[in-house]
Structure 1
Amino acid sequence: MASTRTISGEIDFYVPSIGRVCKTWYIVYGDLQAHRPLICAHGGPGAGHAYLRSFARMTAEYGIPVILYDQLGCGNSTLLPDTLGDTSFWTIDLFMAELDNLIKFFAIEDDYDFLGQSWGTILGCEYIISRQPQGMKHYIISNGVSSGKLWVEAAGKLIDKLPPNVRDTIRKHEANKTYDDPEFQEASMVYYKEHVCRLDQWPEDLIESLTLLDLKNNPTVYLTMNGPSEFTMIGPLKNYSAVGRLHKVSVPTLIINGEYDEATESVNIPFFNEIPRVRWVTMANTSHTSWLEDPDRYFSLLANFLSS
């Protein structure tokens, strides 16, 4: 097993719309000069890097450097709580500019791989479609989102399969917009334990990330762009769609989702049908956090794909 050299720090990121320099926090596992690095974009938006820390295994076991970062507005990066609800500020373009800035900072424009998880796949797809980055050699869509409409439809079907009392509680509070009601939170957790992480005991790293999305913690980005829960999408991402444009994703692509994933087959089909060079693996007995539920298989899949 290779040693995992770790460095962390902050990158200056000037945001013209607010006229100030913000900070993007990062952590790097391994030596960026030794091998093509893998950039991992977390979900949420606003979940932070914590639940992806085990990607350090890619460095320790396969010698692949990994870059994790907290996107603007969450974790250790600059928090902007005054922008809660400002959909003109919190846009995909903002996060693409931040990604541009990160890639330039590490001087890896000519050679890197990219993995997006959940919301991170929206960022990844839009980045590839709009930028056509020549330096990106592989793209991994992990538990991805091709369309807000398809996501909401899939979530609705998954909720319908929950126990009737849980389903009815979720529907009642969605109708009343009482998302902070403990009853709604408890019912939501039933959904999460089925379709977000099926481990009996959730890792502390996952809990840390989900805490950033808790309504009590003022999750600026998540609440503004997505909504109050994984299945209640009321922000502008509900209108997002890459469908019909995914043929522009020309980089070799691996799709990974879980058998019980909230990113269901219907959400992933557009990726598979439209992206020219693509593979798709659905991991048995896993959900939206496949690398936590079956790490041996997940990281082996990743390493094999990145070496192809």
Structure 2
Amino acid sequence: MVSTHKGTVPFREYKTWYRVTGRPQAGRPALVVVHGGPGSTHDYLKGLSVYAERGWTVVHYDQIGNGGSTHLPDADPGFWTPRLFRDELENLLDRLDIADDYVLFGQSWGGMLAAWHASARPAGLRGLVIANSPASYPLWLSEMDVLRAQLPPGVDETLRRHEAAGTTDSDEYLEAMLVFYSRHVCRIEPWPNDLMASYLEAVTDPTVYRTMNGPNEFHVIGSLRDWSVIDCLPRIDVPTLVLSGRHDEATPVTVRPFQELIPNARWEIFEDSSHAPQFEEPERFYEVLGAFLDSVGAIGARTTTVSGG
């Protein structure tokens, strides 16, 4: 039976919640899962714990402000920055004593965060997975206009009317929003329980999401609206797997810089998926990701053997 333990680590005067599944094995770096949002939780990525059955130690955590980590609903908006979350990730790696041997899996916003971390060339990073992530929020916003224009007649008009009026909490707006979500966030009806759990957590405490992103995925008016990791991508020097869905809100235009600018990157597109291929095409998702992890683990095992004499 695969072992699991949960806990918190101190981060500044706060706490970061984590869960570790599996036990360390030679040649298997820890797999650290960085969720999206910002302002979501680990729940929708719990399925990655399956790799613990193949010898990986899988680490999930909730980023500060949500889930099991410290909530700060009254924090000044300026508190919530990408640097805060990068510092939190690096603190977690140190506190769990895995900073010398790990792979990062980052999904959506988490992929941007993981790429930014990787660009500093940390010595212990063995590989990087960037899943369903844009390389730039300005690119994301321009592509949102493209996707919105393709919605059924009247939907985008309804959305923009409420956005202009500041009534994005209205039932009519939420109904129109779900038309976009059902096409470009997850195409499964109803949504899987783990995905719904993360969504409800973000709705329950929307502090981080509303401050950094905005009211939803396609109306980004928060502090991230101008953020990009494009400039740092050429500095990433580990094997990188880029994943996206054909119907993803992270369109090919937003994802392509990862493939073009990271020297050792491979891009896999899931033809029947949007933003959640782990639910929409699970068999292929876990096959593709597992093959990449096995290759990175093999590299790590050879390196350990050579360095160990």
The alignment's TM-score, normalised by the length of structure 1, stands at: 0.92
**Superimposed CA distance per residue, residues 203-236 of structure 1 (whole angstroms, 9 cap, x where no aligned partner):** 111111111232xx34111111111100010112
**Does the Cα contact within 8 Å between 1:109 and 1:135 map onto a contact in 2?**
yes
Q: Is 1:303 equivalent to 2:290 in the alignment? A: yes
Q: What amino acid is the match of 2:4?
A: T
Give 1:68 deviation, angstroms. Answer: 0.4
Q: Is 1:219 equivalent to 2:212 in the alignment? A: no
Alignment of 1:1-80 (within 5 A): 3-14=1-12, 21-33=13-25, 35-60=28-53, 62-80=54-72
Partner of 2:74: 82
Partner of 2:220: 233
Alpha-carbon RMSD across the aligned residues, in angstroms, is 1.2
The alignment's TM-score, normalised by the length of structure 2, stands at: 0.92
The equivalent position to 1:174 in structure 2, one of 136, 157, 163, is: 163
Q: Is 1:126 equivalent to 2:116 in the alignment? A: yes
Partner of 1:151: 140
d(CA) in 2 for partners of 1:177, 1:153: 21
Q: What amino acid is the match of 1:263?
A: A
d(CA) in 2 for partners of 1:273, 1:260: 21
The equivalent position to 2:92 in structure 1, one of 102, 110, 116, is: 102
**Does the Cα contact within 8 Å between 1:137 and 1:252 map onto a contact in 2?**
yes
d(CA) in 2 for partners of 1:99, 1:245: 18
Secondary structure (helix, strand or coil) at the match of 1:137 reads: strand
Q: What amino acid is the match of 1:239?
A: D
d(CA) in 1 for partners of 2:161, 2:205: 23
Q: What amino acid is the match of 1:284?
A: E
**Does the Cα contact within 8 Å between 1:137 and 1:251 map onto a contact in 2?**
yes
d(CA) in 2 for partners of 1:181, 1:198: 23
**Superimposed CA distance per residue, residues 132-179 of structure 1 (whole angstroms, 9 cap, x where no aligned partner):** 211110100000120001111111111111111212111111222211
Give 1:72 deviation, angstroms. Answer: 0.3
Partner of 2:236: 249
Percent identity between matched residues is 43
Bigger mean CA offset, 271-280 vs 164-173:
164-173
Aligned pair in 2 of structure 1 residues 244, 12: CA closer, same or farther (>3 Å)? closer
Partner of 1:18: none
Bigger mean CA offset, 26-35 vs 276-285:
26-35
d(CA) in 2 for partners of 1:81, 1:223: 11
The equivalent position to 2:266 in structure 1, one of 272, 279, 284, is: 279
Q: What amino acid is the match of 1:98?
A: E
d(CA) in 1 for partners of 2:259, 2:47: 27
**Does the Cα contact within 8 Å between 1:4 and 1:56 map onto a contact in 2?**
no
**Superimposed CA distance per residue, residues 86-120 of structure 1 (whole angstroms, 9 cap, x where no aligned partner):** 34211111111111111011111111000100010
The equivalent position to 1:268 in structure 2, one of 252, 255, 259, is: 255
d(CA) in 2 for partners of 1:123, 1:80: 20
Structure 2, unmatched stretches of 5+, are 296-309
Give 1:33 deviation, angstroms. Answer: 4.6
Bigger mean CA offset, 183-192 vs 26-35:
26-35
Number of aligned pairs? 294
* Structure 1 residue ranges (4+ consecutive) displaced by more than 2 angstroms after TM superposition: 32-35
d(CA) in 2 for partners of 1:218, 1:303: 33
Give 1:300 deviation, angstroms. Answer: 1.1
**Superimposed CA distance per residue, residues 22-54 of structure 1 (whole angstroms, 9 cap, x where no aligned partner):** 110011111135531100000000111111111
**Does the Cα contact within 8 Å between 1:46 and 1:221 map onto a contact in 2?**
yes
Secondary structure (helix, strand or coil) at the match of 2:288 reads: helix
Bigger mean CA offset, 237-246 vs 154-163:
237-246
Structure 1, unmatched stretches of 5+, are 15-20
Q: What amino acid is the match of 1:12?
A: P
The equivalent position to 1:137 in structure 2, one of 121, 126, 133, is: 126
d(CA) in 2 for partners of 1:238, 1:8: 34
